[in-house]
Amino acid sequence: MKVILEGSQAIAQTIQNCKPDVVSAYPITPQTHIVEGLAQMKADGADFEYIRAESEFAAISIVEGAAMAGVRTYTASSSQGLLLMTEVLYNVAGSRLPIVLTCANRSVSAPINIWNDQQDAVTMRDSGWLMWFGETNQEVCDLHILAYKVAEQLSLPVMVNLDGFVLTHTVEPVEIETSEKIAKFLPAYTPIDYLDVKNPKSFGSLAFPEDYFEIRKDLHDDVVASAKVMAQEMSKFKTIFGRKLSMVEYYGDKRASTVIVAMGSVVGTIKDAIDELGSKSGVGVLKVVSLRPFPDAEIKKLLTGAKNIAVLDKSISLGTEGILATEIRRVIGDNKKIISFVAGLGGRDITKDSINGIYKTAKTTKEKVVFVDK
């Protein structure tokens, strides 16, 4: 059913139709409408437990405990709230719990800023969570359905990211899948490992040096291997729902000498700028959906013909460069010109003029890091 909804409302309805057993969250702008929507659904009779928490740390701890008990769970956060969850986010991944979390991306303090960039989520890139970024509200809703399927198949948590306000508070057409149709893709959750009084066990207990190393390596290996499972499930998703999901997506001149690489809603602006330049402008955009696992082989293949690679980051690893730029540099190596463009911090507008400026600068600059302030 295609309806016109605010992004947050579309996510809440999609989550309800995925049939979680336990939802817990604490409100923080711009995530609040998602969990408010779920709270209203619970008040109207939805069949899940909704547990109000006193903080984001408590919210992720509640769903951690629920997941250990063997049920499907959900939570959401943003910015400082996500950072407050840090300790438990690592515990969740290390305990191999298939929790799904929505992050409505927002800048981090100080100074306080409630507008969008992606610094909150990318700061968690080493936590062991699979991390995906949607361009549109439709893609974000679809990624949540996929997230449960992949998380529960691999016993890995998934964080689905969308740009705060830019998507969460934007009203646009979205196809909301029914619970019956979702069930054809996402079966009822059957936990692999869970707390059972008849079969006592522990999660996250003490590991000595002779064991800890192997446990962490296993987590690393499974995050890497998740790319294959994602590709398989994305193919099944298209068969059932008729929409394509991919870890990366290329748009523009197939023989482009300059390629802009980006994540999230800004890709739509880049596509508009490319359309105005023309199909033979010599510029394309590579959208990265999956930050973890990072699709090394696909990215390397799609950037083979590029002379100038302009990586647009709405975040920065202070003292170095944009975080996505570092990932691209690792994959491509030093044989191509890679420029880190840092833009949009704290909600600064990234316009088509900004994109045109990046395109022109990428062809001429000798700098490795460029801050785009307008």
Residue pLDDT, tens place only, 163-211: 999 999 999 999 999 999 999 999 999 998 899 999 998 888 899 999 9
Q: Which residues contact 281 (CB under 8 A, 6 or more apart)?
A: 252, 253, 256, 274
pLDDT at 292 over 80: yes
> What's the CA gap between 27 and 119, in Å, rounded?
19
Task: State which of 187, 216, 241 marks the end of a domain.
Answer: 241
Flag whether pLDDT at 135 surpasses 80: yes
Check residue 335 and give its pLDDT: 86
Q: Is residue 185 within 8 Å of residue 149, measured between CB atoms?
A: yes
Maximum Cα–Cα distance across the chain: 68
Answer yes or no: do 262 and 327 share one domain. yes
For residues 37 and 13, is the Cβ–Cβ distance under 8 A?
yes
Structure tokens at 215: 């446990």
pLDDT score for 318: 97
Q: Do the beta carbons of residue 118 and residue 105 sit within 8 Å?
A: yes
Task: Count how many domains the chain has.
Answer: 2
Residues 121 and 16 in one domain: yes
Tell me: do 73 and 186 sit in the same domain: yes
Last residue of a domain, one of 205, 221, 241: 241
User: What mean pLDDT is predicted for residues 15-36?
Assistant: 98
At 273 the pLDDT is: 96
Model pLDDT for residues 147-164, shown as the tens digit of each residue: 999 999 999 999 999 999
Same domain, 195 and 100: yes
Confidence of residue 334 (pLDDT cuts 50, 70, 90): confident
pLDDT exceeds cutoff 80 at 1: no
What's the whole-number average pLDDT of the chain?
97
**Confidence grade of residue 333 (pLDDT, cut at 50, 70, 90):** very high
Domain final residue, candidates 241, 272, 300: 241
Q: Which residue is it, tokens 């407050």? A: 84
The answer to whether residues 49 and 194 belong to one domain is yes
DSSP 168: T
Residue 233 and residue 252 in one domain: no
Q: Which amino acid is at 195?
A: L
Write the Ramachandran bin of 164: left for phi over 0, alpha for psi from -120 to 50, otherwise beta.
beta
* Shared domain check, 361 and 293: yes
- The CATH number assigned to the domain holding 343 equals 3.40.50.920
Res. 374 pLDDT band, cuts 50 70 90:
confident
**Same domain, yes or no: 134 and 80:** yes
Phi, psi of 292 (to 5 degrees): -140, 120
Task: Report the CATH number at residue 47.
Answer: 3.40.50.970
Range of the domain at 335: 248-372
Same domain, 195 and 292: no
